[in-house]
Amino acid sequence: MFLFDKERTGRIQSSHVYDNLPQEIWKISFKQDPIRCAESTPVIDGNGNMYFGSHNGCIYCLDSNGSVKWQFVTEYKVYSSPLLVEDKLYIGCNASTLLCLNLEGELVWRYDGYLAFAKQSKLKRLVINTFNHLFYDYEFKKFMKINTWVSPNLVNDKKIAFVFYGLGLVLLDKDSGQVVWQKSLGNPGYHLAGVAVVADEGKDLIAVIGQNSGLHLFQEDGNLRWKKKPFFRSNAWANPSIDPQEKCIYHTESFFNKKAILYKTDLNGTTLWKREFPFGCRASVAISRKNFIVFLGLNGTVYLLDKATGKELYSLAIASKDRGLWTSPSLMANDHVLINTKKTVKKGSLICLSEKAEPVWEIEYAKALSVPVIDSNGFLYSATWAGDFYKFKK
């Protein structure tokens, strides 16, 4: 699943680590126009098959040799990372849609969030659509489109948590796709950030950010435990991350590429600390097994911050291109950091940093926004916007 666990810690589950430069086993190139590939984090089953979405509008299954076993064609780009539960895949796609597929690539059920939105009252739809139309993106010089960015999460091993355009947070039965409950996250209705889940006293809690309506913590029965207000004109892109040991939530809010605030909040809704940066952030925080978290700025710098205080321990500039660190980092079992970068319009790299933000190794290839993954057999996977998907070994 996205960032490897329900808490979205960014901790790779495999015990294998890459202390030296990886060796390429194979690379496959997807032919498409325009040439773009996976921003989606792949999931890998027990047979070594990989599942991920692509910007060409397809969901793919590759076998361990890199051959395409099947592809499921959707509309528009697929940003969402799949959730693998038993023998089913759950993945967001299209204009606010969640799909459930079996491992043969056959549709089990779909929930069309935009169709559900269209069934609401005309007044409610008018308010939401008018508000969103006014939410002009000055960075990209265009109005926001209805895209599904979010990756699904699992609640109580039985329900799928997802956020939809104009609906907010929706809990669906994993077997039938039926709605369990639905909660609004306010306006605007473009919910980009996603969901983190943590167990507390035998019950799951769901942390979710509205795009401009702050951090919410829901109980698994749908009751709102608390809500934190955002700063004025904030725009939340990054998935919240939860430290399962400390039971604290890290989340960011940005004002384009001019300002970001990183918050640490406990499960009672108390802000333990916050830190402001003079640039934006779109990456989720990775939470080490030790004393630091990893924060990526759109200024191209990696920051290792002290968990207890938020103070900077180490930092390193690794991408000169504006918005060069868009993707989220992952952490190997030794807490070394893996990051895909965008260094120019076309070029980027996969970088490994030590727990002191020192370069360990780097692979230069095309710009890349996917999150690197290591499977239980120790193979490393990554993808680039040149349409290439890689498998590496030690």
pLDDT digits over 59-81, tens only? Answer: 999 999 999 999 999 977 888 99
Reference 316, options 284, 354, 346, 361; nearest CA is 354
pLDDT given for residue 36 in this prediction:
64
Side-chain half-sphere CA neighbours of 384 within 13 A: 21
pLDDT given for residue 344 in this prediction:
86
pLDDT given for residue 119 in this prediction:
82
Residue 370 and residue 40 in contact, taking contact as beta carbons nearer than 8 Å? yes
- How many of the other CB atoms lie within 10 Å of CB of 19? 12
> What CA–CA distances, in Å, run from 368 to 47, 360, 386?
26, 19, 8
Side-chain half-sphere CA neighbours of 27 within 13 A: 13
| CA dist., res. 204 & res. 157, Å (int) | 10
| CA dist., res. 390 & res. 104, Å (int) | 22
Residue 17 and residue 333 in contact, taking contact as beta carbons nearer than 8 Å? yes
| pTM, rounded to two decimals | 0.94
User: Could you report the per-residue pLDDT of 289-346, keeping only the tens digit for each?
Assistant: 999 999 999 999 999 999 999 999 999 999 976 777 988 999 999 999 999 999 888 8
Residues 6+ apart with CB under 8 A from 214: 227, 228, 229, 230
Average pLDDT, consecutive stretches of 10 residues, N- to C-terminus, the chain (394 residues): 97 97 94 68 93 90 95 88 96 90 98 84 69 57 68 97 91 98 83 89 94 92 96 88 97 90 98 96 96 96 98 94 84 98 90 98 93 96 90 96
pLDDT given for residue 216 in this prediction:
96
Rg of the chain over CA atoms, in angstroms?
Answer: 19
The two tokens of residue 312 are 């900077």
pLDDT given for residue 233 in this prediction:
80
The two tokens of residue 264 are 């640490």
| CA dist., res. 382 & res. 39, Å (int) | 10
pLDDT given for residue 135 in this prediction:
55
Percent helix / strand / coil, the chain, rounded to 5: 5, 45, 50
